[in-house]
């Protein structure tokens, strides 16, 4: 054989894409992602079941009084007080949403479109502070208004972020002054 024929005999055509293998991998990947999503959803529901002893959230009184402060922003969730990663999901407290906060002499009105509204009576408020994080959300230092309140036999931290972050200091001062006045009256 001549060298030219030997070279031509050794050449192979390019491999053809194995579509069955690619489709199989794609289906496997989709099933894996669906399984992970389902497991996350079941974990969320299980956490809500474990927190089933949490009483129903109070609703705002029909006449809460004159507004001392108002704020528009985001609700980032609630956790067990002092444990910023222990998210509370029972009664919709784990659902992030837009929020309208109104502070009155009666307490704190939390209105959340698309989620459960709730009310924190003035006597249940314990502390307000600026923090940098709550379960699922970490911001710059002081970027989050955290309100600690009592509900049933638990202390709960709820995190809010105003559309105008400069409002946070006013909220902390006003809430802590209100809490101190309420404790003094007891």
Domain of residue 102, CATH code: 2.30.29.30
Give the contacts of 49 (CB within 8 A, at least 6 positions apart).
none
Would residue 162 count as lying in a domain? yes
Assigned token pair, 79: 């956790």
**Contact between 66 and 103 (Cβ < 8 Å):** no
The confidence score (pLDDT) of residue 139 equals: 79
Range of the domain at 160: 67-185
Return the structure tokens found at 76.
């980032």
Tell me whether residue 22 is in a domain.
yes
Highest averaged pLDDT of the listed ranges 29-33, 63-67, 94-98, 134-138: 29-33
23 inside domain: yes
pTM of the model: 0.76
Q: How many folded domains does the chain comprise?
A: 2
What is the per-residue pLDDT across 66-79, written as a single tens digit (0 to 9) for each? 888 999 999 998 99
């Amino acid at each position: 054989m001549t060298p030219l024929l030997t070279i031509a005999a050794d050449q192979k055509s390019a491999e053809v894409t194995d579509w069955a293998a690619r489709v199989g991998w794609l289906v496997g990947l989709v099933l894996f992602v669906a399984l992970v999503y389902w497991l996350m959803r079941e974990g969320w529901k299980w956490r809500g079941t474990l927190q089933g002893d949490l009483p129903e959230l109070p609703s705002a009184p029909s006449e809460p009084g004159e507004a001392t402060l108002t704020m528009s922003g985001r609700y980032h969730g609630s956790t067990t007080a002092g444990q910023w990663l222990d998210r509370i999901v029972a009664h919709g407290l784990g659902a992030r949403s837009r929020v309208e906060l109104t502070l009155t002499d009666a307490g704190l009105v939390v209105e959340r479109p698309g989620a459960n509204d709730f009310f924190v009576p003035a006597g249940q408020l314990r502390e307000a502070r600026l923090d940098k994080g709550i379960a699922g959300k970490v911001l710059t230092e002081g970027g989050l208004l955290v309100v600690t309140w009592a509900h049933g036999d638990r202390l709960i931290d709820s995190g809010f972020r105003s559309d105008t972050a400069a409002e946070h200091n006013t909220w902390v001062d006003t809430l802590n002054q209100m809490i101190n006045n309420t404790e003094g009256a007891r």
